Homo-oligomer: A and B are copies of this chain.
Amino acid sequence: MTDTRYDVVGIGNAIVDIIGRCDDAFLAAHGAPKGHMRLVDADTVTRLYDSMGPATEISGGSAANTLVGVASFGGSAAFIGKVADDEFGRIFAHDIRAASVDFHGTKKNGGVPTARSLILVTPDGERTMNTFLGISTELDQGEIDAGVIASSAIVYLEGYLFDRPEAKAAFRLAAEIARKAGRKVALTLSDGFCVDRHRAEFLDLIRNGVDILFANESEIKSLYETDDFENAATHVERDARLVALTRSAKGSVILSGGQRVEVAAVPIEKLEDTTGAGDLYAAGFLYGIAHGHDLETSGRLGSIAAAEVISHVGARPLQSLQLLARKNGLKI
């Protein structure tokens, strides 16, 4: 095994979030499935943007948010993704680098813009995402830096990558490099609808190629086509080596080799915007595992990071997660 250069390297869609508020009727009128992510084309993103209220632009992208969280805990982190040579590409690259994450992204100019996600937050704090992938769809095996992958303790992959064949191939290549280098492979299922689209392949990966799995309640139920969380948990316990199941206010359940650890959610004053909750839970958990902490501590780090990010608009932490964890009595 080569020296470990990064705790975690992530591969995902490089996205700038355009976050606005709306009511449930607006979602229904635009056919946006509440609480989910849907892919939209250029025309739809333009139409929806024209209809939505004033917005805030903040860098996002699921795996990218997680890597920013890892860095905020004091971990070493890298991100691989693709942006265009445009304003949103410059914003994305600036923000991730400014958060101390090495950006191994490629920049390309050819008229296809940087990915953006119109995120509509309803009064209950729930977010509904409408993502136009733009240049992100061109993420392929050519982007995968074998040296970076092989020198990272964990390679973290977002399930969203499966929505494009080229990105899926990049995903599989990265997982293979990591496996050969004796590194861990982590996967997030990303979204219930995403699981619907790729159930068989996800199951195969979880059984044969993934060391650490993240899923929320909707995703794990979708994976095993059940309405019962405990039923899904029983199934995934058999299939996965290590899985962290997030359950919003109910905290998380960590399952591994017969062990079951339940971690409470960290109470918050006010739920502002759930965007990034799962991404930041993964950040804390991955930081913990990479630094040799036990499952409970890793889960608690996840809960602390998730609580921070849902207390404000935007999917990346606004304060040092390392300091926040220490304030919460965790020795990291």
Residue of B nearest to A16 (CB): B57
For the complex, is A43 an interface residue (Cβ under 8 Å from B)?
A: no
For the complex, is A314 an interface residue (Cβ under 8 Å from B)?
A: yes
Contact check, A56 vs B58: say whether CB atoms are below 8 A apart: yes
For the complex, is A85 an interface residue (Cβ under 8 Å from B)?
A: no
Task: Report the interface size for chain A: residues with CB under 8 A from the other chain.
Answer: 25
- Among the stretches A3-11, A26-34, A88-96, A233-241, the one at the interface with B is A88-96
Best-surrounded residue of A20, A55, A59, A316 (most CB of chain B within 10 A): A55
Q: A87-B87, A87-B88 are in contact. Are A95 and B55 (CB under 8 A)?
A: yes
Question: In whole angstroms, how far apart are the Cα atoms of A314 and B49 in the complex?
Answer: 20
Residue of B nearest to A18 (CB): B91
Contacts of A318 in B (CB 8 A): 21
CB distance from A270 to the nearest CB of B (A): 11
Best-surrounded residue of A21, A57, A99 (most CB of chain B within 10 A): A57
Q: A52-B98, A98-B52 are in contact. Are A91 and B59 (CB under 8 A)?
A: no
Q: A86-B87, A87-B86, A88-B87 are in contact. Are A55 and B314 (CB under 8 A)?
A: no
Give residues 80-132 of A contacting B (CB, 8 Å): 86-88, 91, 94-96, 98-99
Contact check, A95 vs B54: say whether CB atoms are below 8 A apart: yes
Contacts of A49 in B (CB 8 A): 94
For the complex, is A294 an interface residue (Cβ under 8 Å from B)?
A: no
